[in-house]
Amino acid sequence: MNSKQLESLTSSTCKQVGFVAQFILKELKKVNPNDIETKSLNSLVSYVDKNAEMQLVEKLRKLLPEATFLTEEETIENNEGEYRWIIDPLDGTTNFLHQLPFFSISVALEFQGEIILGVVYEVNRNECFSAWKNGGAYLNDSKIEVSKRTDLGDALIATGFPYYDYRGVEPYFEVLEFFIKNTRGVRRFGSAALDLAYVACGRFDSYYEYSLNAWDVAAGVILVKEAGGKLSDFQGGENFLFGREMIAASPHVFVKTLEVVKTAFSKNR
């Protein structure tokens, strides 16, 4: 698939994801406690997640019939394939269920193991973050770049608190303490996909989190890359898509972020 085809497919994906975002927003105040299921500790799902995922699968299958799927709610069989869509239909489900306005749809396209297209749709603000390989990153129709702030003391950091896997909680809080004391501040909003989109457009300078799934971060990976940012796992390696841990930052603060995170988590390995 060449760059023009990728650009066209990205545009079409944004449009289709936008239709699903409208469905999610319409359901915001309709979910009642009987509609909520507990998948695991602090991991919730409702008919909205499942219905949104089925809509996405249907729409994306029409755009690229040969592609397989990796989806969070497994409304379709997850399979390998040369092309594969990686989908989180509602990243930030707990926020959605509590009517906190920070949740998103995350859709990425993988080709032979590489993410080549990503869309993160911020439902409440109608913001479509998108990127394709070698095409740059965009917020709606405007090109975006990572932050140009160079001093960690001026940086705003994003993270996600551990909510079921507490094996790394001690080094996690060691890192958190450092950033609380040495940066502009730390935010935990509850949607990894949006955290990465916000790094891509410069709203956040750096992001770190562990216990992540591929569908949480796949679209964000290419957003950050195409916006000029850097990514790694907690040891500075490349295993951040399926390795369940990630650092994403502007180049100016990436090195220091990695140093702090790596030092703390190396003690726990």
Q: What residues does each domain of the chain span?
A: 3-144, 152-266
Mean pLDDT for 190-200 is: 98
The pTM (predicted TM-score) of the whole model is 0.94
Distances (CA, A) of 32 to 45, 49, 75, 165: 12, 14, 21, 28
Architecture of the domain made up of 152-266? 3-Layer(aba) Sandwich (3.40)
Burial of 8 (0-12, 13-18, 19+ CB in 10 A): middle
Query: What confidence tens digit (pLDDT) does each residue in 239-250 have?
Result: 999 999 999 999
pLDDT at residue 263 greater than cutoff 90:
yes
Looking at residue 58, what DSSP letter applies?
H
User: In a 3-state reduction of DSSP, which class is residue 108?
Assistant: strand
pLDDT at residue 258 greater than cutoff 90:
yes
Cα angle 41-46-47, degrees, rounded to a multiple of 5: 155
3-144 to CATH, choices 3.40.50.170, 3.40.630.30, 3.30.540.10, 2.60.40.10: 3.30.540.10
Residue entry with tokens 């940066």: 183
Query: What confidence tens digit (pLDDT) does each residue in 198-225 have?
Result: 999 999 999 999 999 999 999 999 999 9
